[in-house]
Structure 1
Amino acid sequence: MLSFLDPSIVPPLLVAAVFAASLLQAVTGIGFGVIAGPVLLVTMASAGAIQVSIVLSFLIALLLAPMTLRAVNWRLLRPLFIGVCLGTPVGALAYLSLSLETLKLCAAIVVGAMTVIATGILAKFPIFQSDTATRRGAVGVVCGVLNAALAMPGPPVAAYVTAIKGDGRVVRATTLVTFLLSYPIALTVQALFVGVSESLLPTVSALAIPTIAGTASGLFLARSINEQAFKWLTVLFLIVSVSLLIAK
């Protein structure tokens, strides 16, 4: 019997959350940590949940990479990745130093600010739409911090690229490749700081099939989503991210 079908091994809610999160990640470039992260934390109640989220997210990035590399904005990617490398150790230290509730509150504040920017409400202030290497690097730092601390690197990158009115396909590609490069760094830092969870391998093995199925479904749906819909889906997931961080 497949382990993900056995409720004594993996709760059905977790299987459903992983499938939905994988689907959203494939469609928008973000979503896995936002949706599956809180459910993993609740069901596993340990630091292993962060590591499981990182590995499954990396699996999604690997699956999508061959279809997205051509659309990557390398000018945008380079400073983002440098920022991620700088922010990841900070996130790991924050994870060790702060309570989980404090980490969630900090993440909610950061993602909430990014949500406001992504909606376009601040469009009349050109400073929020300007795109510079320094700003990209700063966003990468925030991405790295949230990645190592909560396995939720997507909202800062998605909000920034949406605010500067980036093309949806480029947003998805650049965001996913950023994750492809940053997840191994985050997992390595996690392993060095807190060790590898004993539940990592069995949980990832049980959830791999729902993750792959959700990613395939998301690729199919992505073909019918236009730029305007993409923008508001991104905003919606950012709002969901804030809500889940506050509620859990």
Structure 2
Amino acid sequence: MQTTRDLTGSVVAITGATAGIGRETARLLVADGARVALGGRRTDRLDELVAELGAENAVGVPMDVRVPADNARLVAAAVDRWGRLDSVIPNAGIGMYGGILDQSDEDLTTMMDTNYAGTVWTVRAALPAMLAAGGGDVVIVSSVAGFRGGADEAVYAGTKHAQVGLAGSLDRELREKGVRVTLICPAGTFTEFAVGAGRTDDDPRASEWLTPGDVAAAIVTTLHQPRTMRTSIWTLWSMGQGS
């Protein structure tokens, strides 16, 4: 009879950890006995989260996922502190809503480099340590937009389509090496995501969206799976959202 996998002592790196899905995932993982290396751009928030979770359970690394060396520093922090890295959650992402002519070249470049290239750099940095530990999990936080882009989100949806392709290929590349690759694809989620770039803090639709805790629960559930199975794609919708 299969039982859920115990995460006690497991070491997990998370990008985009200072808010929303990343922060809630870190909280759930530590509650389940895991240790977390937290990457994010806002040092003050990293410090606050490490203080909340406890220095014995968490280490914070100020970083930008667009910079390969920063991703390497995140992995090194985990290995230096706990001697291993078991899983990585490339979660950092940004969104901007509007027509393809509405944003600046710089804004679009930032979105493409953060959402797609940032995922690639995080995975590349983490894999050597995970393979040295005998395998683990790559859990990429993407979006349902990766399967069905909508109007006024073409470039954002393109970055999510790219993550879908990346995850599918990585699954085929890494499964036999003991690394599971899961793509978590939530629908609209009430976070700071895209606030000021097509969303507002008081968006009237928010009551019908997923919460960061909903998505975090799905992420942690995939890590709890017995090592004999894997979930390749998990799409999430709230009960109030159409699919």
Q: What TM-score do the two structures reach when normalised by structure 1?
A: 0.28
Structure-2-length-normalised TM-score: 0.29
Q: Which has the higher helix share?
A: 1
Greater relative contact order, per chain length (Cα 8 Å cut-off, separation 6+): 1
Higher strand share: 2
